[in-house]
Amino acid sequence: MNIVVFGKSGQLAQELAGLETTKTTFVLLGRDDVDLMNASDITEKLVSCKANAVINASAYTAVDQAETDQQSAFNLNEVAVKNIAECCKQLNIHVVQVSTDFVFNGKGFTPYLTTDQKQPIGVYGQSKANGEDALIHAYAQNSCIIRTSWVYSVYSNNFVKTIIRLSTQKEQLGIIADQIGSPTCAKGLAIACLDASMAKKIGIYHWTDLGVASWYDFAVAIQELAFTHKLLTKTIPIKPIRTEDYPTPAKRPNYSVLDKTGNETVFTNSKAEHWRSRLNTMLENLVKDNHE
């Protein structure tokens, strides 16, 4: 089975590449390989790769920058998704589209259901919500959407690596404690995406690691476990701060926990784990990478 993954430089695409087996081949395509604004180019690439399925991991994810670079955000998060959907419909290829907790307004207090109304509060969230709608409108009969949140991995830049780096450079850190969500290791997300692709799942699903945390909770755990694994030689104080103490161009959802009820019957090859357990495993792998 040949699975084309759009967004080859991202964390998810690189984790997917590591899942390759004798039965499953991944073809990773980036901006230098395919023009997602050009439907004929997408079709040509899918045909030449003999694609049996597509996982769209490409996205404009610079949340703050999106507020001023709106055209780029909507191009990649909406127009590209529409183009991919229409090309895959033409070729009868299943699509897995990765989306985000940012499609919700973050004003809730209980985990968001897949059926809850989308009310994004910024350009990034709106562009991703529009992308979901574009896929559903064009190709609902042979595609699925997997929403996730707070993604990190051993690859690329992310919150986990940033906290480790800053812990070696600063005397102390102030981390937001009133935004609540679920950290998600990209490796587990990759397995869920592959699961959905192989089973040709239809509809909207949520995938994050289990449990909830604030960014402050997450940062404290990162530093603690990084020190345990000798990725840090010392720890520094981490202070909880409020969102209003750290203003950003784009608003973030205060609460963006996603409901995952029933996932064990949907993603049958994917084992859900608590975020702290996944974080520990990721840091163990980071240690191995540093020694290779």
CB–CB of 275/183 below 8 Å?
yes
Residue 182 near residue 209 (C-beta atoms within 8 A): yes
| Whole-Å CA distances, 224 to 20, 31, 233, 273, 283 | 33, 37, 11, 19, 11
Structure tokens at 224: 């603690």
Q: φ, ψ for residue 121 (rounded to 5)?
A: -110, 5
- Active-site annotation holder among 60, 112, 124, 155: 124
Give the 3-state secondary structure of residue 175.
Answer: strand
Beta bridge partners of 241: 176
Distance (Å, rounded) from C-alpha 133 to C-alpha 61? 18
Q: Extract the tokens encoding 133.
A: 């709608």
Per-residue b/e over 2-32, b at no fewer than 16 CB within 10 Å?
A: ebbbbbbebbbbbbbeeeeeeebebbbbeee
Q: Is 124 a catalytic residue?
A: yes
Per DSSP, the three-state class of 99 is strand
To which H or E segment does residue 264 belong?
helix 263-266
> CB–CB of 10/156 below 8 Å?
yes
The catalytic residues are 124
